[in-house]
């Protein structure tokens, strides 16, 4: 059976799959990145994991994978196939596409940014399916974004398109590692809510999920923390929809797991802020933590489909 290898590399772990042409997950596996052993070890673990998947595919389905797709965090030069920088993995200018192609016997390899790759999957086969324009925003440790246009995701001229987390929503506010003050992700990411709630309730172990539960139970302090995050997020989203005019806003990541505790006030906050803009649908992501892996598979199949079209 014809299939591709899909790899989603995170800060601490890797998710992988063998994926058929119709999107069926034929095999799934997880592995630690081994980042505690340094960036070279991380790269070798990625290559070794991919080679193991190739062997599994050849044994189970009678032929090795036809292509591979890999999603990585940080700054990614998708055109050159280079993982340019990732603070949490410690690497710089890793020619990952070429290294993987060599390890996998010369098959085509696609390299993508993790959020844009997850957005590609959400747009094509997840919550944005059928929408010609969407904006995918995962709320995790930080906040990023993926701009979807007619079945593809826009990377921008330099690979930075969609970085909504660094829109300044509170001028002069909390310093951000990027060098600005008052960036969206300093107020509305899961880590920002965790920090704010831990300070408000006096429990250093409390996190955003605990805050959401306290909101649901009617805790006034939790509601204040939560509303501050929702208002900041709405300000950032309205800036984005003013620029992009998406048909659908897809919200994912850890904070979105709060469900309507997040979405009900967020939809209302966005609605209050729009004037001339067309109000988009604001929906939860559908694919969870499989989005990056599925998106990497889509990148791989796109490579094969493009090469087939080019030969005709």
DSSP secondary structure of 209-261: HHHHHHHHTT-HHHHHHHHHHHHHHHHHHHHHHHHH--SEEEEESGGGGGTHH
Return the SS3 of 79.
coil
Q: What are phi and psi of 180, to 5 degrees?
A: -95, 175
Kindly provide the b/e burial profile for residues 162-180, where b requires at least 16 CB atoms within 10 angstroms of the residue's own CB.
bbbbbbbbbeeeeebeeee
pLDDT at residue number 74: 86
pLDDT at residue number 311: 47
Tell me which residue has tokens 């925003």: 137
How many residues comprise the chain? 312
Digit-by-digit pLDDT tens for the chain (312 residues) are: 899 999 999 877 999 999 999 888 999 999 999 989 999 999 999 999 999 999 999 999 999 999 999 999 988 998 899 999 888 888 899 999 999 999 999 999 999 999 999 999 999 999 999 999 999 999 998 999 999 999 899 999 888 899 999 999 999 999 998 899 999 999 999 999 999 999 999 999 999 999 999 999 999 999 999 999 999 999 999 999 999 999 999 999 999 999 999 999 999 999 999 999 999 999 999 999 899 999 999 999 999 987 655 444
pLDDT at residue number 299: 96
pLDDT at residue number 252: 96
Return the SS3 of 198.
helix
pLDDT at residue number 308: 56
Is the distance from CB of 272 to CB of 293 less than 8 angstroms? no
Neighbours of 223 (CB within 10 A): 15
CA 35 to chain centroid: 20
pLDDT at residue number 307: 61
Q: What angle do CA 305, 306, 310 make, to 5 degrees?
A: 120
> Which residues touch 120 (CB under 8 Å, ≥6 apart)?
112, 146, 148, 152, 153, 295, 298, 299
pLDDT at residue number 312: 45
């Amino acid at each position: 059976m014809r299939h591709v290898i899909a790899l989603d590399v995170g800060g601490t772990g890797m998710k992988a799959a063998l994926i058929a042409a119709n999107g069926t997950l034929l095999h799934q596996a997880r592995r630690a990145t081994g980042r505690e052993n340094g960036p070279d070890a991380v790269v070798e673990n990625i290559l070794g994991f991919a080679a193991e998947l190739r062997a599994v595919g050849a044994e189970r389905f009678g032929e090795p994978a036809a292509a591979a797709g890999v999603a990585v965090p940080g700054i990614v030069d998708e055109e050159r196939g280079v993982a340019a920088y990732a603070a949490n993995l410690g690497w710089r200018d890793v020619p990952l596409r070429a290294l993987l192609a060599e390890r996998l016997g010369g098959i085509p390899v696609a390299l993508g940014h993790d959020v844009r790759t997850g957005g590609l999957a959400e747009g094509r086969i997840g919550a944005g399916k059928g929408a010609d324009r969407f904006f995918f925003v995962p709320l995790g440790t930080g906040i990023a974004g993926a701009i979807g246009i007619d079945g593809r995701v826009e990377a921008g001229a330099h690979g930075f398109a969609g970085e909504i987390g660094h829109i300044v929503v509170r001028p002069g506010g909390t310093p951000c590692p990027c060098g600005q003050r008052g960036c969206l992700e300093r107020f509305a990411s899961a880590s920002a809510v965790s920090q704010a709630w831990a300070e408000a309730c006096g429990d250093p172990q409390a996190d955003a999920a605990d805050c959401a539960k306290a909101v649901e139970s009617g805790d006034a302090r939790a509601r204040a923390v939560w509303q501050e995050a929702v208002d900041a997020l709405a300000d950032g989203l309205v800036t984005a929809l003013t620029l992009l005019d998406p048909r659908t806003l897809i919200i994912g990541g850890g904070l979105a797991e709060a469900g309507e505790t997040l979405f009900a006030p967020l939809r209302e906050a966005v609605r209050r802020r729009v004037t001339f803009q067309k109000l988009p649908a604001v929906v939860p992501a559908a694919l969870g933590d499989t989005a990056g892996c599925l998106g990497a598979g889509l990148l791989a199949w796109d490579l094969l489909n493009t090469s087939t079209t080019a030969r005709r």
